[in-house]
Structure 1
């Protein structure tokens, strides 16, 4: 068995991270002649935390949208556990084990924290189609919802309105909603965006928590977060893969320094 890779910076590659669970093959996405992603080939290993980084406009969110089915590729394909999924709608991709959060808050502000999770939990069940079923039918899901809220650090806030949550707490709730389908792969789009140091530290701990037993892929600008969490990193530039590898190798790559890291590489 291959021994885990480790370095002075970045997380060790876990021993379980041997098989590719999520794969992009020669992905191209064009918008009226503009290539937002250009022949992106990428393999995410099972059990790892993999960071996607790059300057603004590099194609990171477009890549996430392609991986999760919110955009269809112009050419190329996406595979999850060996099955091609780029032809499927997003809800079917979720049911096959891939879930995601979004850069912009996507909670229901007028609902409570627990209700936000309950709505997501009931979506794959017959309950959404039983219009005259009393709300008490959702009680069977309360225990599951509360376990998820405990996992994301919101156990003391089930009856608070989502609108009253802080920015960081909304991020925690969004991750909780993403966990309701028990995904094998979780995509997190800039989970620390707009946060202060305390919120960032909380999200780092949360990502470590939710990564137990699953694969996490995150788009992240904060390089200290990437260094803390990522087993491997892929750098995008102009829609193409510029470099990929463990943190120390990537941060010393002259192409990455010039394109993105600059003085951070010497910090």
Structure 2
């Protein structure tokens, strides 16, 4: 099914916004099964863009294609006009795109601050050796402390990552993503498994980290999407079903049938 321009989209109003991240006809096949089927989308610089859809719609596969963890069967991914789908993930990070994962990926036996120091090492001139003493990373301390403040973990800097709550681990993971100073940040299910207090904290955090950068998130919680997203892309069966603002997609009959259901009428 192909996407259609939704009512209210500006037409003929001069040069459009800068495209930060774009996908063109992305296809990913796994033994004959097409997890994504010709996905094309433009993510504008400075916006918060949500990718939604029912289970099995291809959201995680698309995220992995955008970030280089999967290579497309066909199609292209471009970051600020430069093709990146042929690059390994670490080179994509250096080009300005970073991501978090749905599954926790912190070092549990290290403190919160040490996790950030190790992540910052990859962008420093310090040797990238596994046995580098933490003490040698103290030159990166001011950067780590600034990120801790940004993600709301300054008071928890000395705690072991293993002792953090689920929500605090997500804050730390976002902080680790920020150590790479990304222009585009991909967040995979940032509020997954959280209660209302944790969700509110992550919403505030995403707004904070979105200042001066582009954020793309996969998110099931439509309340979070409505709070955060400037634009939304809806996937179904591995293809783009619709794209637009929250109000536009929630009123689209195809989206209501495929995903939103009665929620659209609340």
Provide TM-score, normalisation by structure 1.
Answer: 0.92
Is 1:245 aligned to 2:244, yes or no? Answer: yes
1:135-154 equivalences under 5 Å are: 135-154=134-153
Unpaired segments ≥5 residues, structure 2:
1-7, 9-15
Is 1:157 aligned to 2:168, yes or no? Answer: no
Residue in structure 2 matched with residue 36 of structure 1 by the alignment: 35
Residues 48 and 210 of structure 2 are in contact (CA less than 8 Å); yes or no, is this contact kept in structure 1? yes
Residue in structure 1 matched with residue 208 of structure 2 by the alignment: 209
Task: Name the CA distance, whole Å, in 2 between partners of 1:103 and 1:181.
Answer: 19
Q: How many residues align?
A: 252
Secondary structure of the equivalent of 1:35? strand
Shift of 1:132: 7.1
Secondary structure of the equivalent of 1:226? helix
Secondary structure of the equivalent of 1:234? strand
Residue in structure 2 matched with residue 187 of structure 1 by the alignment: 186
Shift of 1:191: 0.2
Residue in structure 2 matched with residue 23 of structure 1 by the alignment: 22
1:100-119 equivalences under 5 Å are: 100-119=99-118
1:1-267 equivalences under 5 Å are: 18-129=17-128, 134-267=133-266
Task: Name the CA distance, whole Å, in 2 between partners of 1:37 and 1:164.
Answer: 38
Deviations 1:182-205 (A, max 9, x none): 100000000000000000000000
- In structure 2, do the counterparts of structure 1 residues 133 and 111 end up closer, same or farther at CA, with 3 Å as the change threshold? closer
Deviations 1:99-157 (A, max 9, x none): 00001111111111011111110013342435775533211101110110100000001
RMSD of Structure 2 on Structure 1 (CA): 1.4
Secondary structure of the equivalent of 2:37? strand
Deviations 1:21-80 (A, max 9, x none): 100000000000000000000000000000000000100010000000000000000000
Task: Name the CA distance, whole Å, in 2 between partners of 1:75 and 1:183.
Answer: 26
- In structure 2, do the counterparts of structure 1 residues 133 and 240 end up closer, same or farther at CA, with 3 Å as the change threshold? closer
- In structure 2, do the counterparts of structure 1 residues 115 and 255 end up closer, same or farther at CA, with 3 Å as the change threshold? same
Q: Which runs of 4+ in 1 moved over 6 A?
A: none
Secondary structure of the equivalent of 1:160? coil
Task: Name the CA distance, whole Å, in 2 between partners of 1:129 and 1:20.
Answer: 33
Task: Name the CA distance, whole Å, in 2 between partners of 1:116 and 1:129.
Answer: 15
Unpaired segments ≥5 residues, structure 1:
1-6, 8-16
- In structure 2, do the counterparts of structure 1 residues 256 and 133 end up closer, same or farther at CA, with 3 Å as the change threshold? closer
